[in-house]
Structure 1
Amino acid sequence: MTKQFEHPLPNSEGYFGEYGGSFIPPELQAVMDDINQAYQDIRQDPSFVAELTRLYQHYVGRPSPIFHAQHLSEKYGCDIYLKREDLNHTGAHKINHCLGEVLLAKKMGKTKVIAETGAGQHGVALATAAALLGLECDIHMGEVDIAKEHPNVVRMRILGANVIAATHGRKTLKEAVDSAFEAYLADPHTQLYAIGSVVGPHPFPMMVRDFQSIIGIEAREQFQAMTGQLPDNLVACVGGGSNAMGLFSAFLEDDSVAMHGCEPAGRGLEQVGEHAATLSKGVPGTMHGFHSYMLKDEQGEPQEVYSVASGLDYPSVGPQHAYLKDLGRVKYGVVSDEEAIAAFFELSRLEGIIPAIESAHAVAHAINLAKQGTRGSILINLSGRGDKDIDFVVENYGKQYGIASLL
């Protein structure tokens, strides 16, 4: 077994401290137990690890590089580095776990993979992996996000995926998860629900974390080779939390490395339904088959949430993040829509890198840390590129940043 699959948590029942577990109907639990057993088998199978490694190297383009953002560093007085997950095939970190999940589905004899997607990056990555490995693919996506992330919807359809609109509620990520779960409950035997983050019932928070931990393993080795030491700070955006856990996982035992997750403050933390800051404003609760922090309404149901970043507007968070928050090992802050969009343009214009709006939250948080006096090095997980967001950004913020007149 490689370092990618060696982690002390969760326990055998899928708990990170008091968070995690599996809260699903008994008939579905039997299916989940089969998935867990199949995963435990393949993670120790040298042929599976070799195939995944081959695809990472020759298909995804791993290892993704680390880039010293010199202009940002000079402007804000600390050394800022980017782990360039945006350079992966399909444009984000999501391909790391999608390849693993589709390989697992194929080894289990499944004929279809299904998933939810918010920004569309997970949907594109899963459609890509399914096309490569010969499985059918259904992607559930909120109707609002289908309109907002049109380029990714087109990519999914070109790749052969069936895109299914979630038309209830706010028609965004939470509703897409609801829709995908309903479809999975209808037939959990021939299809695998390839969950898109470190959320859901056990074993998915563990499994997605393991596949994403390649980010942190690479970053640890690369940063030491570049600088001779470990980074002083890590920064990653947190919706469900897969890119952040991928980076953080390799540094959890390094007390000298401070870790910072940032959630979307949206239009304001004091406005109910106008943010998705689960770890900052939520309380423990259970939804979508797992126990973690959760934003609840007055009835104890998942609260409506919002973010300018479609991939971050989820009313819960991965259980390992909840555990790390309570331990104090990771500090979780917030970034507003305005700060994220400003960082989107600043990284584009200072470094020639257009980030996903999700990743722009991490850039903004790093800038805020520097403004608050943080010194030393900051390594940002640049989890995705902004191709999917440019039409939306120009339409809604172009005039403010001097580009609307060019359309």
Structure 2
Amino acid sequence: MRYVSPWREAAPVAGTMGEPGARGRFGDYGGRYAPESLVEACREVEEAFREAWADPGFRGDLAELLAVHAGRPTPLTPARRLSRELGVRLWLKREDLTHTGSHKINNVLGQALLAARMGRRRLIAETGAGQHGVATATAAALLGLEATVFMGERDIERQDLNVFRMRLLGAEVVPVTTGSRTLKDATSEAMRHWVGATGDSHYCVGSVIGPDPYPWMVRELQRVIGDEARAQCAAELRTGLPDHVVACVGGGSNAAGTFAGFADTPARFVGVEAEGGAGASRGRLGVLHGCRSLFLQDGDGQIVEAHSIAAGLDYPGVGPEHAHLRDLGRARYVTVTDEEAVGAALRLARTEGIVPALESAHALAWVIRAAGDGGLPAGSTVLMTLSGRGDKDISTLKELL
């Protein structure tokens, strides 16, 4: 008898994961909260992206780069040993096998092509785990652009390999010494820098955050993950669709891209946040980095610093579309501790021979927990996006294990 998920009542909501509505909003979230100079710059980005996205030539150039440079399509890998242990059918969408080692390259190649089309000569970026910074530096080198990457001083210390890779590729890495010295502060500094450089630079936002059109544009550029996975599931799975689609969430780009491919299906979406950076799970309505969304705040409405062992999840909020999906009940958001994530990384390494990024290990940790406590009933089929490889986290794991 075929397994039927008890979550099947979570039917697709009409109109979800399309274009944002009026004023760049997803329901109550999104918008364009920025200085006037950046409002105009964002309008230019939106106009250029809409024109490019409707141009078969641009789409063809991007598809070619994703294939011959980034290595797409990425495989859908059955986690056979771990599946037997957990009693579920777990499939991994292998973004860790892209060039540069994470999903970030999908978004960056698209934005770099757009920047060149707009006549911009330099890319500005923020980075936490370093993967977006490496992808930006890679795309800039490929297309003959300059790159300036802002990175928190704390993240520079724990992701020194990626810092070296960025510099090796020719990017300028600017340490950010304010605040928590992590991703939030790097994003703030990058946006401040863009204010004075809109004429010759494009801000290559790394996640589904920021002022409109970035949350929508980045999701569309990451949609390739979900579209590929949808086709692969149709070929590999008996039912053609997974029961659950799971991905880690910081700002939320790999999750948004994956979910988008299944938005019109009954598949249940689960976004997994770090316990110390749970914007969707425990955030309150606020404005940060140009958009209205859910952010960790104190009683006075001040942003509370996030914490995660995974630098890419060390962000106090979530992208506006995720907040909207949460409100609609289309996606469920859960949290995982540092200890659970490290344990999941170790278990995947020893059962499947895959060392995941600690960000991705958060998603796996929830799958492991839910398979044990009934949150994923026996026999269910789970598609999980493995957003990045664990090379960058080896030093952290070495200290802990």
TM-score (norm 2): 0.94
Once the two structures are TM-superposed, the CA of residue 372 in structure 1 deviates from its matched residue by 2.1
Determine which of 66, 89, 99 is the counterpart of 1:89: 99
1:148 and 2:158 correspond:
yes
Shift of 1:300: 1.4
The question of 1:101 aligning with 2:81 is answered: no
Q: Which residue of 2 aligns with 1:345?
A: 346
| 3-state SS in 2 of match to 1:60 | coil
Tell me how far apart the structure 1 counterparts of residues 142 and 300 of structure 2 sit (CA, whole Å). 44
> Is 2:188 the partner of 1:185?
no
Match of 1:244 in 2: 255
Percent of aligned pairs with the same residue? 48
Give the deviation of 1:299 after TM superposition. 2.9
Query: Residue type of the partner of 1:383?
Result: S
Determine the structure 1 residue equivalent to 2:370.
369
Give the TM-score taking structure 1 as reference length: 0.92
Amino acid at match of 1:337: D
Find the aligned partners of 1:242 and 1:369 in 2 and give their Cα distance.
Answer: 23
Matched, 1:21 2:31: yes
- d(CA) in 2 for partners of 1:253 and 1:49? 23
Q: Secondary structure at the match of 2:111?
A: helix
- DSSP 3-state at the match of 2:313: coil
Query: Structure 2 CA distance, aligned partners of 1:315 and 1:184?
Result: 22
Q: Aligned residue pairs: how many?
A: 382
CA contact (8 A) 2:17 2:263 kept: no
Q: What residue in structure 2 maps to residue 383 of structure 1?
A: 387
1:99-143 Cα distance to aligned partner (Å, 9 max, x none): 000000000000100110000000000100000001000000000
2:235 and 2:337 mapped to 1: Cα distance? 34
Q: Does 1:233 align with 2:237?
A: no
Equivalent residue in structure 2 for 1:52, among 50, 58, 62: 62
The Cα offsets for residues 334-391 of structure 1, whole Å up to 9 and x where unpaired, read as 0000000000100011100000000000110111121122131111100000000001
Which stretches in structure 1 are left out of the alignment for 5+ residues?
A: 1-5, 266-274, 399-407
How has the CA–CA distance of structure 1 residues 7 and 308 changed in structure 2, closer, same or farther, with 3 Å as cutoff? closer
RMSD: 1.1
Q: After TM superposition, what 4+ stretches of structure 1 lie above 4 angstroms from structure 2?
A: none
1:223 aligns with 2:227: no
Question: C-alpha separation between the residues in 2 aligned to 1:9 and 1:283?
Answer: 24
The answer as to 2:235 corresponding to 1:262 is: no
Corresponding residue of 1:312: 313
Q: Which amino acid aligns with 1:243?
A: N
Q: Distance in 1 between matches of 2:199 and 2:397?
A: 41
Aligned partner of 2:212 in structure 1 is 202
2:33 alignment partner, SS class: coil
Matched letter for residue 253 of structure 1: D
Q: Which residue of 2 aligns with 1:270?
A: none
CA distance in 1, matches of 2:50, 2:366: 36
What SS does structure 1 have at the residue aligned with 2:261?
helix
